[in-house]
Structure 1
Amino acid sequence: MASGMQHKNAISTATEGLIQAQLELYHHSLGYVKSVALRAATELGIPDAIHRHGGVATLSDIATETGIHPSKYSHLRRLMHALAVTGIFSVEGSDDDAEYKLTAVSSILVEGGESMCNLSPMVHVLVELLKLTMLCSIKEWFTDERASAMTLFEVAHGCTPSEMKAKKGTVGMFQAAMVADSNLVMEVVLKEHIGIFKGVSSLVDAGGGHGAAAAAIAKALPHVKCTVLDLPHVIAGAPTSRDVQFVAGDVFEYVPQADAILLKWILTMWQDEGAVNILRRCKEAIPAGGKVIIFDGVVDSGTSQDIILKETQVLFDIVMIGVDGVERDEQQWKKIFVEAGFVDYKITPVGHRSIIEVYP
């Protein structure tokens, strides 16, 4: 009798395990739906709508503010329910009486919000059909011999990311996303880690795009002479600034002299050979007491218990496969620093990225 009961319990446990496995599998498979729902919220301007209502808005408020057609009202409720369950918004009440509020996540999707950092443009860059199509081509890229000399993006779309941006006219969208990211990162760095600029009187933001990071440094530290180096077509679209000098050039060929060289989200775009070459140009540009300051990911070695941090870092690494880039752990960073001729470094984690100070 007892053995029969044990057998029944074992079957029940095995069945529960199968159902749990199925649940987890479907949860992973539907991850992209969370992303597109988030993108829809930013495109519709839902975070702004809630913000304009003092941080609390009903479905009716949101529909009116965003211009959603009355026939889609019930579907808006479903979208908002999903966004609340996944933590983008919070909700109190139910049905027509439900009131939606901004969370820490959605508060940085607001134009003119408290932090002054609107990351909606970054959502539009990270969540796009081109990237999804690219990542759905991984099997072909891994196995097709014809793809061996091509990036994953080229296999999926037949051109480079730069060529695609030019063809679709999305260069401005990409730069807006980089500016948004820089605004948030620099707000944190200049409040919590301003000491990294101690003793620096001149700085070059190499590959600095439209100069958001350099402008933030110049505003906070007026004594620092800030220069942005980037390709001619990028510099041509940059805003005029009295605080930042823009120089057109190629970081692989020459970096202007300065006490510090800033590389924000640049080296992740390159395999080791390219990253080492960039670092060598930077080493030539700084004095003996200078340094290179890198804002980039340092993939966790397994010590952190923050699953969101771990997943974000490895997911970024998969995205970087598409453009032949790479996210690195500390040992991989150390390898390219040594190869480029540097002798020491210091890593300070800041969210999913880190500040890496590298010394010649």
Structure 2
Amino acid sequence: MAMQDEMVRAGTHIRNHMLNFINSSSLKCAVELGIPDVIHRHGGPITLEELVDALAINKAKADHLGRLMRLLTHSGFFVDAKIKDHDGYALGPPSCLLIKDHPFSLASFVLGATGPVFAGPWHHVSEWFHNNDSSPYQTAYGKTFWECASQDPEVNHHFNQAMARNSLLVMSLVRKYCRDVFEGLDSLVDVGGGTGMVARTFADEFPDMKCTVLDLPHVVAGLEGTKNLVYVGGSMFEVIPPAQAVFLKMMANFGGGERKLKEWVKIFNDAGFFDYKTTQVGLMSLIQLFP
């Protein structure tokens, strides 16, 4: 009996991981349909019938929408709500960040992370382990992500939009918990700063700080700065504009790496930094390096 129980637990564990894509795919579907936006505009809990009408979907698939909502409710994105004698749904705390016009909306980030550009390469990881490609993205599409972004304006736009939205949320946390880190600086360069959402936050928060965004020419093309914010097209591997502080938000995908602290410390030391301080910000850490 004990062995049978263990087999059931093992099988359940495998199935949970094997089918976990259903959770992210359902979340993607909710954002694509605009379900959080509809409930938000409704001004309160909404019945399934009202949701079907507002989404203008095929009414014959109302039951399937109900299944989707039950799954997303179980995942915490929505909450059950009684409306007279009818079952209904209200926004859960996470779904507020899926409303497209929310100042810290992660809707575009969700669509990017669950779309083919990000998710597709994961189907080629085992193949990638056998070849010399720099990343699974290159194995999947025959070119690096950065080459694709430089050649495809749509990919470039959606990626930069997703990064900007994510950066807004990150910077709200940095501003709340780590503002003192940046007080007194007269200049800062954001390396790989994309469309400048992070640097623009610094520039607004510290009017006397000169902020520079360094990114590839196709990323910053056409972007206009302000009196204390400028854009520079170039590569971080060639030259970084001089500044009192250099800001990098490290990437873990598309050829980036995820490192343990001791691995980070070796990189710091090899680069000539011998002191550092870490500040936990949610699931992320702000690392300060000192020469």
TM-score by length of 1: 0.75
Which of the numbers 129, 139, 142 marks the counterpart of 1:155? Answer: 139
Flag structure 1 segments of 5+ consecutive residues without an equivalent: 1-11, 270-319
Say which SS state the counterpart of residue 137 (structure 1) adopts: helix
Cα separation, 2, equivalents of 1:129 and 1:247: 30
Cα separation, 1, equivalents of 2:44 and 2:239: 48
Corresponding residue for 1:3? none
Cα separation, 1, equivalents of 2:201 and 2:50: 36
Flag structure 2 segments of 5+ consecutive residues without an equivalent: none
How big is the shift at 1:220?
1.7
> 1:136-179: per-residue Cα shift (whole Å, max 9, x none)?
2222222x3xx124422222221211233334721100000011
Cα separation, 1, equivalents of 2:216 and 2:172: 26
1:35 is the counterpart of 2:24:
yes
> 1:232-262: per-residue Cα shift (whole Å, max 9, x none)?
1111153554542111121112212211111
> 1:317-340: per-residue Cα shift (whole Å, max 9, x none)?
xxx3xx332111110110000001
How big is the shift at 1:66?
2.4
Cα separation, 2, equivalents of 1:237 and 1:98: 50
Instruction: Give, as a single letter, the amino acid of the residue that structure 2 aligns with 1:51.
Output: H
Match runs of 1:188-199 below 5 Å: 188-199=173-184
**Residues 104 and 33 of structure 1, relative CA distance in 2, 3 Å threshold:** same
Corresponding residue for 2:237? 252
**8 Å Cα contact 2:31-2:98 kept in structure 1:** yes
**Residues 64 and 244 of structure 1, relative CA distance in 2, 3 Å threshold:** farther
**8 Å Cα contact 1:229-1:249 kept in structure 2:** yes
Cα separation, 1, equivalents of 2:217 and 2:153: 19
Cα separation, 2, equivalents of 1:239 and 1:29: 46
Corresponding residue for 2:280? 349
Instruction: Give, as a single letter, the amino acid of the residue that structure 1 aligns with 2:120.
Output: T
Cα separation, 1, equivalents of 2:205 and 2:50: 39
Corresponding residue for 1:232? 217
**8 Å Cα contact 1:50-1:57 kept in structure 2:** yes
**8 Å Cα contact 1:209-1:238 kept in structure 2:** no
Corresponding residue for 1:110? 99
Which of the numbers 253, 258, 270 marks the counterpart of 1:339? Answer: 270
Which of the numbers 223, 236, 243 marks the counterpart of 2:208? Answer: 223
> 1:117-154: per-residue Cα shift (whole Å, max 9, x none)?
01011111111234433212222222x3xx12442222
Structure 1 stretch displaced more, 156-165 or 213-222? 156-165
Match runs of 1:16-165 below 5 Å: 16-93=5-82, 97-113=86-102, 116-142=103-129, 144=130, 147-165=131-149
How big is the shift at 1:15?
1.5
TM-score by length of 2: 0.92
**8 Å Cα contact 2:208-2:228 kept in structure 1:** no
> 1:217-240: per-residue Cα shift (whole Å, max 9, x none)?
111221212111111111115355
Instruction: Report how many residues are paired.
Output: 289
